[in-house]
Structure formats: C-alpha cells, structure tokens
Amino acid sequence: MIRLAILAPPALLLFLLLAMDSRPSPPSPRELLSRMTIEEKVGQLVQEAPAQAAGRLSTEEKRRVREGRVGSFLNWQDPMGMAEAQRLARKESRLGIPLLFAFDILHGFRTIFPIPLALAATWNPPLVEEVAGLSAWEGRSAGIHWTFAPMLDVCRDPRWGRIAEGPGEDPFLASELASAWVRGFQGDDLASRDRLAACPKHFVAYGAGEGGRDYAAVDLSLGKLLEVYLPPFTAAVHAGAASVMTAFPSVNGLPVAANPFLLRTLLRQKLDFRGVVVSDWNAVGELLVHGVAADAEDAARLAMKAGVDVDMASGLFAAKLPGLVRAGKVPEALLDQAVERVLALKAKLGLWSSPAEPQVPPWVDPLPATSRGLALRAAREGIVLLRNQREILPLSPRVRSIAVIGPLADDRRNALGPWPGIGREEDVVTVLEGIRSRAPAATRVLFAPGCSADDPSTAGFAGAARLAESADIVVAVVGEQARMSGEAASRADLGLPGRQEELVRALVETGRPVVAILSSGRPLALPWIAEHVPAVLAAWFLGVESGNAVADILFGLSSPVGRLPVTIPRAVGQIPIYYGHTNTGRPPGSGRDVSGYIDLPETPLFPFGYGLAYTRFAYRDIQVAPAVIGHGQSVEASVLLANTGPRAGAETVQLYLRDPAASLTRPIAELKGFQRVFLEPGEERRVRFSLPSEALAFVGPDGELRKEAGDFELRIGPSAASGLSASFRLENQRLPTPSPRGTP
Ligand code: BGC
C-alpha cells in the first residue's frame, strides 16, 4: 500500500476506483467445467505468444480468443492490446473466462535489478524478497498476472549461459532464495493488485546438462536429483508457488515434458504440488525432436499424461487434445483436472472481479526514487570483492585522477543483463557515470574504451595505456556482453572475450595500480588477472544502478558484502567444480597417486562462499553442544567472530556439515546455515547456529531420506574452503533434552 504513494494523484484515483470495482464473484471452477465444451476446456490449456509482441492481435487471434480457444498469452508488451483481448475474452466469449497474461520477470520488469546470480551473491533472502515484491507490483500494474520466475536451476557448470538466471551451485542457498522469491512475487493474496503468480522453473535438473550446453541431456543419480536439484523447488512449493514450469532436457532418458516420474511422482505426489504445470516454450512439440514421440498427436498425449497442464506455444494441445479426448486416448478426467487448476489460478488472481486490465502503468517514467534505491542496494550487495592487495580499495581520498578504461565502462545495454524485461537503456547509470558522480570534486576522471568487448582490434590499446600512465589509479571495466549469457548462450571458454585480457595486461604493465571490475553472467576463469591485478571485483550484470553501486564500493561509501554463490574455476578443464563434491579414495594430499590434475591444482580460483570486506575478521573458539544428540534434537554451534581490521564491515558466517562415515559417500561439505553479521572495528560477537537432527538426513538408494547414527563434523567459517571445525554425534535413539547449561 505504501507504494501507492508514488502514483500520481489522478492515476491513484483511477487505480482505487478500478480496484473497488465489485463484480459478482467467479463461478467455481467445477461449475464452469460442467458447462464447457471439450474445445473450451482445451482452450484453457493453450498458451500463445501474440504474433506481434508489441502490438495488437490479428483478426485470426481475436477469433480464437472469442471462441475460448486461448487461455493465456505470454510476453506481450502492448497494454492496450492486452486490455482489448481481455475485453474480448470476458465480454465476447461464451463463458467470459478471463485471459491470463504471463511475462518473464527474471530480475525486474521496468526497474532492472542485478541478474539473479548477482542477487544470489547478496546471500540476502529478505532483499531478494523485496526485489521480487517491487517487480510484482510493476508487472501487475502493467496487466501481467503471472511471471515465469524464479529460475531455480542449481548449476555447477559455468559454461551454461543460464547460470546467470539462477541461484548458483548450492541447494541450501538456492532454497532460501527460492522461498524469498516466491513470497516476494506472491505475497499473501494473489488477488491483490501488486502481486504476481510465481512460476519456479525449470523443473528439474536443467542445470546439469552435458558439457554445459543449453538444452543438453541430463543423466544423473536419484540421489543428486533429490538432494541437489530438487530442494529449491521443494522450498518454492512449500512457499506456495502457484505454478511450475517444466525443463527442456531429457532427464535420465526421458524429456521432462513427457516424464511422469518427475511431474507426477516427484512434483505432484512427493511435493504435493497443487498448482499449474506449464511446459516450456514448444517443449511439447520438441518431444518429436527428442525422439520420444512419433507424431504430433503422440507428443500431446505424452505431455498430457505425464502431467503438463498448459502447453506453451507449441499449439499441439490446441490441435490434438480434443481428438485425443474424443478417441478415449486421453481420459477426459485428466483434461478436467488440468483445466480446473488453470481456472483455480485465475480465480485466485481475482481475474473475474478485477477491472478489464490492464491500465497504462502510471509509474513508467522516470523510475521512482524508491525503485532506484532498492536497485542500488541490491547492486551494491551483489558485488563480490575477490582481491584487494595492499588494501588499495577503498580508493584513497588522495587519488587525484582515475583512468576508467574498458569496453563495458560506459555501456548501458550490457548492464541490463540477459532478461531486461521492459527496462530501458537510458535508465542505466554506467560505471563511468557512477565514478564521475561519486568522485571528489577535485578528482579528474578520464575515460577510454581501449577495445571493444569482442572484436580483435587492439588499436585503442596505446591510447588507453597513455591515459592509464597519466592517472593515479586505473579502473578497468571488462567482461562479457549480456548476450553471452542467458538462454542458448553457453561458452566453451571462460576467459574475457576478444582482446580484453591483453588490454588489462597492458594496463598492468604501465605500473599504475589497477582495479578490475568484471562484468559477466557467469564466473569467469581469469587466473592471470586474479594473480596480477591488485584489486578485483565480480560485478556480474547489475542493472540500472550498476555504476552508482560500483562507485559506492570503490570510494568506500558502501562496504562490499557479496559472497560467491558459485565456485570460480581456474580453467574450463576443472569443470564441473563445486565445493560439495564427494571424496575419492585418493583425495589430494593423501599421497602420490591422487585425484586431481598433473597440470593444474584441483582447487578453485575462488571457492564458494568467498568474498572480502574492507576489514578483516577472525574466527575463534568454536563450540558445539551437546556432544551427543538423539533424533528430534538439535545441536547448537557457535564461534566467536571478531572484526580485527580498521573499518566496520559485515561478514557472512557460514555453517557447513560433513558426515565422514555413512552407508553412502557424502559431500565433503554441505552448507546448512549462514548469517550476515555486522561488526564495528574491534567488536567481537558470538555467532550461533542451531542445527536440527533432520538436517543430517540424506537420500538413500531407495530415494527416501535416512538418518544414520554416527559422528558428524561441523565447520563454521567465511567460505566453503576454510573455517573452524568441531564434531558431535548422532545416537540412534531419543535422548533426554540437555540442560540449558550445556549449550554454548
Ligand atoms: C525459456 C523460459 C521462458 C520461456 C518464455 C523459454 O525459451 O526457457 O525460461 O520462460 O522461454 O519466454
């Protein structure tokens, strides 16, 4: 409601009048179903993209809407066209069933926030919830009801371009973020005019495709599926997600859109998911290309039987389902269940009682300060400080001249990332602009692109080096273009595209101190830069407030708090590389013939969870109590954390678990908790975690959770690669509750 305050008064009045519009409540889905023809039922399961995404419907499309043969549209960007279509559906179709409008809002609709991977780097679920909330308000004000987000694909292969859209490599962090996204989009009441139905995607294991290639086949054990890829979806479903989207690839041989084990056994039965399942774009049609459907009819039948409710864009449900139902090849009861779920979603969204939507959104131009404020906060918190030799950051107030160099330093389009909604380039504050606006008045800010982001010319190197030599400090803004991540944007090389690394080397050779700002949709493998450039920031794609956020960090107006949500490899050859791997019989350090490489350390360039602050933190005195717990009890663990550096700062304290001896090999570490702790210089605080015995369970070969008695190791530290350890024991029986004196 507070957000209404930023609407202009006439728009507010209109908004309130429309919101008060009280029409009769919707007919119940059951009752509606009883009045529907088979074609009308199938129509509810048909999702189309309008032929003109930014325009009106064709005569043919309008006819289909009037006949009730379309249930939803996606990615339509013409509010007046949408309003007209809604009017046709409600006033001119036989049953007046409203249309659903869906849109991909991955990291903002009008206000473009950092990409989801950067939001994951905040390790700040409440912030993500706010981002989702603001995006929901913007989307809903533009007549959208349903967003195809959050993207929850855990990914351990940074070659995959879609790693940019997701939560990173870890199921625990991903699950915390998943709930936050869903709560933020949906709130408590989908009918409220600032909420959207969420659609966690892509169910499931899309991030595990072979070779990091998009859409590639996935082959994985039941244990990995359930322990690594499923948890964020479980969290999203528990948070009340209204829908789920299927993933493109085949998983263990069967494409998800035709996979009853995944859609019915796991999603519907195990997770008890009651909402709508939508296929991904043309995934029903692609069952033919996968080679599991003989013809179009077969594809529609397989998808329907497997559990797809809504067919996004293939047209095969529309073309084939009525015939399949009439011929008894798809039971009408199955069709009814799917339709009922779609109608129930429409009812929950209040579509029957809301005004003919959408109105022209009143907030479009310029972006409100509150939206920019949130975008700035998110962008600052998503930046990860990877290196800060000699503490050259934050920049000293004595710096009199800064050479800002690099093809992405003054680039608007790429800052918006791979899913920029209806964001506008002109809203972006570039790094150059941010530095200019935040630099002290007496500081000269010089600029040269040096080279382009991907072409082979080095013609600009000499000029850039001259500029660098004339400055006190060099800020090199290099990285990928936005089109290099996201869908169908896998890379086989994780270096800087084009001649950018050579540019950075030329800048370092000038002898001036260099700060590298790495802009990308994925972790980049840049060992030379990590060793030779004194300060390095992972800045991802940060959205409209990119430049202000980077400048705030550079000048110390804000302290870096971001932590890696994904491991950064030294080289592509290390992939897959992730912290939570299982041990081998010959782990590194155990002798001569060990698991690793003869030409590269097996360790990453930067581990999961890593990120520096402008101060230092010391961990000491880990305590774990009680030493023995029984089922249903919790172990309390704590450390003393001290800020031993010169400035105030925040540390993200991470709790990892290891089960060193179990009936199956277990990961060498599993994140089980994290907390951000802010400390003044010299301040010390005990940071406490409580770990319930349920968190010790793992998936057995039968797919069921099991808790095995034995010793466990806890580690509390600043990343997956370091920290203090202590152990405790789980007994296979209920133990008396320990006295409070036993807890640290
Ligand atoms: C993507 C989905 C997206 C859909 C609709 C597909 O190609 O895989 O993530 O929601 O398009 O835009």
Name the 3-class secondary structure at 265: helix
Q: What is the pLDDT of residues 632-650, one digit of tens each?
A: 999 999 999 999 999 999 9
CA of 91 to the centre of ligand 1 (A): 30
**Percent of residues, the chain, with pLDDT higher than 90:** 90
Which residue segments constitute the domains of the chain, with CATH numbers given?
Answer: 369-569 (3.40.50.1700), 617-742 (2.60.40.10)
Q: What is the pLDDT of residues 390-415, one digit of tens each?
A: 999 999 999 999 999 999 999 999 99
The neighbouring-strand residues paired with 692 are 634
Query: Is the pLDDT score of 504 beyond 80?
Result: yes
Question: Which of 204, 280, 282 has most ligand 1 atoms within 8 Å of its beta carbon, as the pocket-test mutant?
Answer: 280
The residue whose C-alpha atom lies closest to atom 5 belonging to ligand 1 is: 281
pLDDT band at 738 (very low <50, low <70, confident <90, very high): low
Does 487 contact ligand 1 (Cβ within 6 A)? yes
202 CA: nearest ligand 1 atom: 9
pLDDT at 735: 65
Distance CA 121, CA 143 (A): 31
Q: Where are the beta strands (DSSP E) in 295-428?
A: 311-312, 384-388, 401-405
Contact 413, 482 (CB under 8 A): yes
In 3D space, the residue among 409, 404, 397 whose CA is nearest the CA of residue 441 turns out to be 397
Query: Among 78, 157, 280, 411, which one carries the catalytic annotation?
Result: 280
Torsion sign over Cα 165, 171, 174, 175: positive
Q: What is the pLDDT of residues 513-530, one digit of tens each?
A: 999 999 999 999 999 999
Does 104 contact ligand 1 (Cβ within 6 A)? yes
313 CA: nearest ligand 1 atom: 5
Is residue 280 among the annotated active site residues? yes
165 CA: nearest ligand 1 atom: 9
pLDDT at 4: 31
Query: Is the pLDDT score of 85 beyond 60?
Result: yes
CA of 109 to the centre of ligand 1 (A): 15
151 CA: nearest ligand 1 atom: 9
Does 280 contact ligand 1 (Cβ within 6 A)? yes
In 3D space, the residue among 470, 479, 480 whose CA is nearest the CA of residue 507 turns out to be 470
pLDDT at 371: 96
Distance CA 554, CA 536 (A): 11
Name the 3-class secondary structure at 519: strand
pLDDT at 354: 74
Question: Which of 76, 77, 104 has most ligand 1 atoms within 8 Å of its beta carbon, as the pocket-test mutant?
Answer: 104
CA angle 273, 277, 283 (to 5 degrees): 145
Does 227 contact ligand 1 (Cβ within 6 A)? no
Does 201 contact ligand 1 (Cβ within 6 A)? yes
Name the 3-class secondary structure at 277: strand
Name the 3-class secondary structure at 444: strand
Judged by average pLDDT, the poorest of 22-36, 494-508, 658-672 is 22-36
Distance CA 365, CA 349 (A): 27
pLDDT at 741: 44
Distance CA 97, CA 343 (A): 8
Task: At 108, list the tokens.
Answer: 């903002």
User: What angle in degrees, to the nearest 10, is found between the helix axes of 369-382 and 125-141?
Assistant: 140
Burial of 591 (0-12, 13-18, 19+ CB in 10 A): exposed
Name the 3-class secondary structure at 389: helix
pLDDT at 117: 98
pLDDT band at 53 (very low <50, low <70, confident <90, very high): confident
pLDDT at 592: 87
Residues 553-577: b if buried by 16+ CB within 10 A, e if exposed: bbbeebbbbbbbbbbbbbbbebbeb
pLDDT band at 26 (very low <50, low <70, confident <90, very high): confident
Residue/partner pairs of 284-288 with CB below 8 Å, 24 or more apart: 284/257, 284/308, 284/311, 284/314, 284/316, 284/317, 285/314, 285/315, 285/316, 286/248, 286/255, 286/257, 286/314, 287/255, 287/257, 287/258
Query: Is the pLDDT score of 361 beyond 90?
Result: no
The residue whose C-alpha atom lies closest to atom 8 belonging to ligand 1 is: 280
Terminal CA-to-CA distance of the chain, rounded, Å? 43
Instruction: Tell me how crowded residue 452 is: count the other CB atoms within 10 A of its CB.
Output: 16
Q: How many CA atoms lie within 13 A of 62 on its CB side?
A: 14
Q: What is the pLDDT of residues 293-311, one digit of tens each?
A: 999 999 999 999 999 999 9
Name the 3-class secondary structure at 599: coil
In 3D space, the residue among 539, 559, 549, 551 whose CA is nearest the CA of residue 438 turns out to be 551
Q: Write a three-state SS string for 591-654.
A: CCCCCCCCCCCCCCCECCCCCECCCCEEEEEEEEECCEECCCCEEEEEEEEEECCCCCEEEEEE
Question: Which of 74, 105, 148 has most ligand 1 atoms within 8 Å of its beta carbon, as the pocket-test mutant?
Answer: 148
Does 634 contact ligand 1 (Cβ within 6 A)? no
CA of 319 to the centre of ligand 1 (A): 22
Instruction: Tell me how crowded residue 320 is: count the other CB atoms within 10 A of its CB.
Output: 25
The residue whose C-alpha atom lies closest to atom 10 belonging to ligand 1 is: 148
Does 148 contact ligand 1 (Cβ within 6 A)? yes
pLDDT at 733: 72
122 CA to centre of own chain: 11
- Mean pLDDT across the stretch 591-605? 94
CA of 291 to the centre of ligand 1 (A): 21
412 CA to centre of own chain: 22
Q: DSSP state, 738? A: P
The residue whose C-alpha atom lies closest to atom 6 belonging to ligand 1 is: 281
Q: Output Rg (C-alpha) for the chain, integer angstroms.
A: 27
pLDDT at 122: 98
- Mean pLDDT across the stretch 455-481? 96
Task: At 296, list the tokens.
Answer: 């179009």
Torsion sign over Cα 379, 577, 160, 147: negative
The residue whose C-alpha atom lies closest to atom 2 belonging to ligand 1 is: 280
Q: What is the pLDDT of residues 685-715, one digit of tens each?
A: 999 999 999 999 999 999 999 999 999 999 9
pLDDT band at 355 (very low <50, low <70, confident <90, very high): low
pLDDT at 736: 65
Query: Is the pLDDT score of 24 beyond 80?
Result: no
CA of 281 to the centre of ligand 1 (A): 6
Does 281 contact ligand 1 (Cβ within 6 A)? yes
CA of 599 to the centre of ligand 1 (A): 40
Query: Is the pLDDT score of 510 beyond 80?
Result: yes
Distance CA 129, CA 620 (A): 33
Matching residue, tokens 């029409």 = 23
Task: At 613, list the tokens.
Answer: 């602050």
Does 48 contact ligand 1 (Cβ within 6 A)? no
pLDDT at 734: 66
Average pLDDT, the chain: 94
The residue whose C-alpha atom lies closest to atom 7 belonging to ligand 1 is: 281
In 3D space, the residue among 110, 105, 75 whose CA is nearest the CA of residue 428 turns out to be 110
The residue whose C-alpha atom lies closest to atom 4 belonging to ligand 1 is: 281
Distance CA 564, CA 540 (A): 11
H or E element: which one contains 714? strand 710-719
Q: What is the pLDDT of residues 219-248, one digit of tens each?
A: 999 999 999 999 999 999 999 999 999 999
Q: At residue 425, what are phi and psi to the nearest 5 degrees?
A: -60, -35
Q: DSSP state, 188? A: S
- Mean pLDDT across the stretch 86-92? 95
149 CA: nearest ligand 1 atom: 10
Phi-psi region of 632 (alpha: psi -120 to 50; beta: other; left: phi over 0): left
CA of 149 to the centre of ligand 1 (A): 10
pLDDT at 737: 61
Burial of 661 (0-12, 13-18, 19+ CB in 10 A): exposed
Task: At 304, list the tokens.
Answer: 């329907």
Distance CA 240, CA 189 (A): 11
Type of residue found at 612: L
Contact 242, 186 (CB under 8 A): yes
Task: At 465, list the tokens.
Answer: 């080096």
Q: Where are the beta strands (DSSP E) in 7-84?
A: 46-48, 72-74
Instruction: Tell me how crowded residue 360 is: count the other CB atoms within 10 A of its CB.
Output: 13
CA angle 165, 83, 277 (to 5 degrees): 40
CA of 280 to the centre of ligand 1 (A): 6
Does 665 contact ligand 1 (Cβ within 6 A)? no
245 CA: nearest ligand 1 atom: 10
Q: How many CA atoms lie within 13 A of 533 on its CB side?
A: 30
Q: What is the pLDDT of residues 105-131, one digit of tens each?
A: 999 999 999 999 999 999 999 999 999
Does 286 contact ligand 1 (Cβ within 6 A)? no
CA of 39 to the centre of ligand 1 (A): 26
pLDDT at 54: 86
CA of 207 to the centre of ligand 1 (A): 14
Contact 193, 140 (CB under 8 A): yes
Residues 515-528: b if buried by 16+ CB within 10 A, e if exposed: bbbbbbbbbbbbee
pLDDT band at 79 (very low <50, low <70, confident <90, very high): confident
Distance CA 9, CA 20 (A): 16
In 3D space, the residue among 486, 472, 473, 563 whose CA is nearest the CA of residue 521 turns out to be 486
Contact 161, 214 (CB under 8 A): yes
In 3D space, the residue among 114, 109, 113 whose CA is nearest the CA of residue 143 turns out to be 109
Spatial strand order in the sheet of 146-147? 146-147, 100-103, 72-74, 46-48, 311-312
Name the 3-class secondary structure at 348: helix
CA of 487 to the centre of ligand 1 (A): 8
